[in-house]
Each structure stands twice: as C-alpha cells, then as structure tokens.
Structure 1
Amino acid sequence: MQSRREFLGHLGAFAVAPALFLERTAPELILYNANVITIDDRHPRAQAIAIADGRFLAVGSNEKVAALAIAKTTKMNLEGKTIVPGFIDAHTHPAVAGRMHLKQVDCDLRSIDDIQAAIHERASKTPPGEWVLGFKYDDTKTLDGRPLNLADLDAAAPEHPVLISHRGGHTAYANSLALKLAHITEATPDPSGGRFDRDPATGALNGRISERAVEVLEKLIPEPSSREDFRAGVKLVSEMMSRAGITSAHDAYGSHDDLRAYQDAHAAGELSVRIYCLIGYSEIDRMIAAGVRTGFGNEWVRVGAM
C-alpha cells in the first residue's frame, strides 16, 4: 500500500490544495464510487474525493483517495452517482426572496384557477383589509393563454387589497381594493417611468401595473419584518438554494438589513450558501460612513461592489 507521502507525490493534477496542507490534514469525509465531473480537461472524470474542513483535499481514483483515510474518516459509497461542482448564481436576491417565501403566496403555479385558490386560502387566514401579496407569477408558465387580471384577483380576495408581482420583476397585478387604496382610477395619469394598463377597447383598468407605477402601491404596504424574520428568510432560502446545487450567490442589491441577516444566519450555523453582497446604491453613503468597504467579511459573507 502507498504511504500518504507517496500518494501525494503521484497525485499531481488531482490535488486541489497544496501538498504541504494535505500532509498536515486527514480527510473527515471521503466520497467514493462516484462519477466526479472535475471541469479539468486533463482529467475530466474521477472516482473519489476527500474533504476536510469544508474544502477539497484530493480528487482521484478510489484507491488513491482511500489511501488518505484515517480511522475517523467517514466513507460514503455513492454507487455511481454524479458529483458536479457547486453552481454560482451571479445575479439573485436571496434575502428578499427568503422573506417573500416566508410571508407571501408562491404563485409559481400552472393555472389562474390554482393561483386564485392559493390567494383565496391566504385571504381566509388574513384579517379583512390587510394586504395579500404574491410573487413568482409567470404568465408564460400558465395554461390559460392570458395573464391575470383585476377580475381574477377580485374574485379570489374581494375583502383584501391584493398585489401579485411578476417573476420578471417589472410588472405586478392588483385587484380593485388595492387600486382604490392607492387612489388610482381610470382618470389617473401614468407616472413617469410607469404605466397603469387599461383595456384597449374600454379604457378600463385591467389590474396590470408596469415599472415605476408599481411603487405607487408598494409604498402603501407595511413592512413589519423583524431582525428574526430577516434571519429566518435567509435560512429558508439558503436551504432551497443548497437543494438546487447552488453553493455561492451574488446578492445584486443588498441592504444593511440583508447584510446583517446573512451574518446572523452564518453565526447561527444556518447559512449553507456563500454570499457576495453587492450593496444597493441607496445604502452606499451609510456603508461608507460605517467604515464598510468592498472585501469586508469572510469566505461565507463578503461585501462586494455597489
């Protein structure tokens, strides 16, 4: 049997950490009998990997990686399952998405009837007059061949103001009570950079709101999220991203509350995705005054650019 020193000497391109580091560290976990996709043109496939302290020590054959094991090493037979490098999401909003999943209706459904049912269920648990919010609606994924409209939302929750955001991030859909609270009528002019959509035949509002016009309604919606809500949202979305194979993410518009939520979740052992937090322009002066700069943080939560 090869010694660990002999193994390291032959490992060559399969080593993913300096040899000196490997000689000082025994693997906590070895995954073997796997189909490892290495993204290395010289060695595109491997059978096993060794891991310690959350980092790869080695990638190679079953025999060579097994030579690194000690008595305390956990060994897992993957029986031919595939291992791929973790995915990096370069533009996402994890903290915001997590809070949405905690508090809003997930409208990623395949029909308007299903969306109405989900909204109606949430409304039944919400005091009359309070907002019912939804997100992830995508008219290209429903089978109806048409988008949501004001009548659909009125039927689902007539006693609650309703606002459903589209997955694309540039439009939303409101019911009559939401428009009434915002004092939006058929005579209301479109705001600069936005639009209240109307039926082309009658001129009546159809509930679709575009771009900056959405802000007219959003400013009416209370945001009672606590620090605990922010942390819980990050915990939830971190779990969801991990299940999808995402190991790192760029938050494309982070706030000071979002940054603190990532830090709180990490401190609680609840963050399984590395976050590169790009700070929103509206927060920049505040961050600079506090001495926070690009690069601030650690390998799990780091401040990025503006």
Structure 2
Amino acid sequence: MADLVLYNGRLHTQDPGYPQATAVAIGERRILAVGCDAEIEPLVGPDTQTIDLQGRLVLPGFTDCHIHFLKHALRRSQVILDGVDDWLEVRRRIRAGVERAGPGQWVLGWGWNQNLWGDGTFPSKADLDDISPHNPLALSRTDGHSLWVNSLALEKAGITAETPDPPQSRIDREPDNGEPTGILREWGAIRLIQDIIPEPGDETIVAALRESIAEAHRLGLTGIHEMRLEGEKTPALRAFLRLRQRGELRLRVACMIPVEHLDEAIALGLGSGLGDATLRLGGVKLFADGSMGSGTAWMLEPFEGSDDDYGLAVTSKEELFDIARRAHAAGLSLTIHAIGDRAIRD
C-alpha cells in the first residue's frame, strides 16, 4: 500500500505511450505508480494519506545542480544587498547592519552589484568607513568573486600597500600610492579576510540549514548539488551529516569537495557517489577563472576600457590536466567553473 496518494490532478509523464495521468502513489519516499484515479485507487489502504488536487499540476521535486546552499543559509541573517539598485538604499542597509552588531563585531553581507548603481565603478573602503569606523565590514559581491571591505577590516588582516597580490588574485589599489582600495578579487585575496572572520558554531550552522531547507521545500526544491569553494572554513558536509544522523535531513544532497582537499580525498580512498540517496559525495570543485561581473573571467580580448586586462586564470591549463588525471584515477568526478571564452577554449 502507498503512504500517500495524490489524485484528481494533472501529470505530464513524458511517456509517449501514456502522456497524461491524474494520480500518483508514493511509498517510502519513492513514486510507486502513476496513472488515472481508478488505476491508483487499489494502492490506497487504511493508513494511506490521500489528497484531492482539484485539477492542480503535479511536478517532481526540483534539483538545483549548482548552489551554495550553506552560504545561502548563513547569509539569511546578514546584510542583504542582492538586487538593490539604489546607492542610498545600499548604504542604509549596511548602516542598519552595523547598528545591529555588537561593539567590534564583524558585519557581513552579500549581493552587491556595482552595475546597478550607475556607471559600474567599483565601490571602495571610503564608502564604508564613515558608516562603520569601529566594526570590520566584509561584503561579498553577488557572484562571490569580489569582496568589499572597510579600512578596519584591511587593518585587522594586515593588508597594506606592501602586501603582494596572492597568486591568481588581485588586491585593487590606488594608482598614486598603491594603497588597497577595499576591493579584493578572487579567492587568494578574499581569503586574507575570510581567514580572520570568526566562524559560527556547529549548532548555529545546523539551525540555519534547517530553516533554509524548509524554505527550499516551499519552493519545490528537494535536491541540491552543494558547490564548495577553496578556502571555505565552514564544514558543509559535517553540517549536513549532523542533520542526517538526527533524521532531519529532508533534502537530497550531493556535496562537492574543494580542490584544495583533493590529496586528502585520494589518500582516504573517497570517491564520487560515496554515501546514500540522501547524502553523498559529488565531485571535486575547481576554478579555471573568475567571473564577468568582477572582471576576473579569463578572456581572449581585454575587458572594455582596458588594453591589457584579460582577467585571471585561477588555475593553469597544466594544473587542470594534472588535477583531472589524479581525480579520474581515484574515481572522483570534476566540476569545473569556467566563464570566460579563453578559460573555456584553453
């Protein structure tokens, strides 16, 4: 018998021999049968829950194949600048976040996009210092490939005019004195700040995931491929595993491995697919380049307004081939971020 039967609905089966159905039977979290109401009725038992759809459309749960779900979960409590196209509103939201913070506490945010504010000029630390002179600020761009920080954050990280650009990354600088402007591009530079930001505790992370999973269900999302980034300290796999062990993980998760942990994964004998239908290892996530919005995608032609800025090759072609060979030999698939035309062709 079925645990749940949905009837009097509309289902598009994508089966040419049986293109339309009205009912579906579900048992042990799996679809048992699809058909017309009369065909499914024999699967209704005394303990079966039945729902009259009243002609509504039934769709399978969606799987998001590229998402930073843990980041989204934690960012729900941060300063949200996503889609804000008014500079004064950007400043108002940041100021509100600072006012909510305790003395000296880090204020984090995400989602800003300089292309929505006017001429596309990147903001600077000067735009933040008057708002937050006593709290370090770190605001991630909408693509996650640039970080906007205030002077106090730079000071705490020890980033000065003498700080060299980390490999495959860039610290934006004032043209006259080389002082950092407050914009850090790509992971090597971003990590200079991220590494000194206190991480939330495990239970805080689990609670944030629990709330975001409920939100995902309301949107029809039942599965994700969780993309991990180099330098991320928050252990997503451990947080998902905590929920799994408690019987609370109501989301199917394929969790990627950051490329910086490839050697450890190989040494432990881990492979793609390890786990179960609810929580399993995906592939190894690595980056060929950056993003268009941050001006770090690896391009065949220079970015507009420049004669020599082709973006950044985050991982060289030689490194990519070496990683691919070692991962394949270990039974680990690859998930490669490549945005610019040169990154894709090379």
Note whether the superposition's TM-score is higher than 0.5. yes
Correspondence 1:172 to 2:172: no
Per the TM alignment, residue 244 of structure 1 is displaced from its structure 2 partner at its CA by 2.5
Trace 1:232-271 onto structure 2 (pairs within 5 A). 232-253=207-228, 257-271=235-249
Q: Of the candidates 63, 69, 72, which is equivalent to residue 97 of structure 1?
A: 72
Per the TM alignment, residue 276 of structure 1 is displaced from its structure 2 partner at its CA by 1.2
What is the match of residue 304 of structure 1?
A: 282
Trace 1:188-203 onto structure 2 (pairs within 5 A). 188-198=163-173
What is the match of residue 273 of structure 2?
A: 295
Correspondence 1:54 to 2:32: no
AA partner of residue 131 (structure 1): W
Q: Of the candidates 248, 252, 258, which is equivalent to residue 280 of structure 1?
A: 258
What is the match of residue 209 of structure 1?
A: 184
With the length of structure 2 as denominator, give the TM-score of the two structures.
0.70
What is the match of residue 220 of structure 1?
A: 196
Counterparts of 1:245 and 1:156, CA distance in 2? 39
What is the match of residue 99 of structure 2?
A: 124
Per the TM alignment, residue 301 of structure 1 is displaced from its structure 2 partner at its CA by 0.7
Counterparts of 2:170 and 2:258, CA distance in 1? 25
Per the TM alignment, residue 32 of structure 1 is displaced from its structure 2 partner at its CA by 1.7
What is the match of residue 339 of structure 2?
A: none
RMSD of the alignment, in Å?
Answer: 2.9
Per the TM alignment, residue 191 of structure 1 is displaced from its structure 2 partner at its CA by 3.4
Using the TM superposition, name which of 283-292 and 213-222 deviates more. Answer: 283-292
AA partner of residue 217 (structure 1): I
Trace 1:83-94 onto structure 2 (pairs within 5 A). 83-94=58-69
Counterparts of 2:182 and 2:226, CA distance in 1? 30
Counterparts of 2:174 and 2:22, CA distance in 1? 61
AA partner of residue 244 (structure 1): L
1:199-250 C-alpha deviation (Å, 9 max, x unpaired): 6799775432211322222222222x22212322322332232222222111
What is the match of residue 19 of structure 1?
A: none
Structure 1 unaligned residues grouped into runs of 5+: 1-25
Trace 1:133-152 onto structure 2 (pairs within 5 A). 133-140=108-115, 142=116, 144=118, 146=120, 147-152=122-127
AA partner of residue 106 (structure 1): I
What is the match of residue 107 of structure 1?
A: 81
Per the TM alignment, residue 120 of structure 1 is displaced from its structure 2 partner at its CA by 1.8
What is the match of residue 66 of structure 1?
A: 41
Greater RCO, CA 8 A, separation 6+: 1
Per the TM alignment, residue 280 of structure 1 is displaced from its structure 2 partner at its CA by 2.3
The 8 Å contact of residues 163 and 172 in structure 1, kept in 2 or not, is answered as yes
Identical-residue share of aligned pairs (%)? 33
The 8 Å contact of residues 234 and 271 in structure 1, kept in 2 or not, is answered as no
Counterparts of 2:272 and 2:161, CA distance in 1? 47
What is the match of residue 231 of structure 1?
A: 206
Per the TM alignment, residue 91 of structure 1 is displaced from its structure 2 partner at its CA by 2.2
Per the TM alignment, residue 171 of structure 1 is displaced from its structure 2 partner at its CA by 0.9
1:171-204 C-alpha deviation (Å, 9 max, x unpaired): 1111222223334345655333222224679977
The 1:150–1:284 alpha-carbon spacing in structure 2 relative to 1, beyond 3 Å, is: same
Counterparts of 2:244 and 2:170, CA distance in 1? 41
Counterparts of 1:107 and 1:115, CA distance in 2? 6
Query: How many residue pairs end up in the alignment?
Result: 278
The 1:83–1:139 alpha-carbon spacing in structure 2 relative to 1, beyond 3 Å, is: farther
Counterparts of 1:158 and 1:36, CA distance in 2? 57
Per the TM alignment, residue 292 of structure 1 is displaced from its structure 2 partner at its CA by 4.7
What is the match of residue 56 of structure 2?
A: 81
Larger Rg: 1
Counterparts of 1:288 and 1:201, CA distance in 2? 47
AA partner of residue 212 (structure 2): V
The 1:151–1:66 alpha-carbon spacing in structure 2 relative to 1, beyond 3 Å, is: farther
Using the TM superposition, name which of 233-242 and 288-297 deviates more. Answer: 288-297
AA partner of residue 228 (structure 1): E
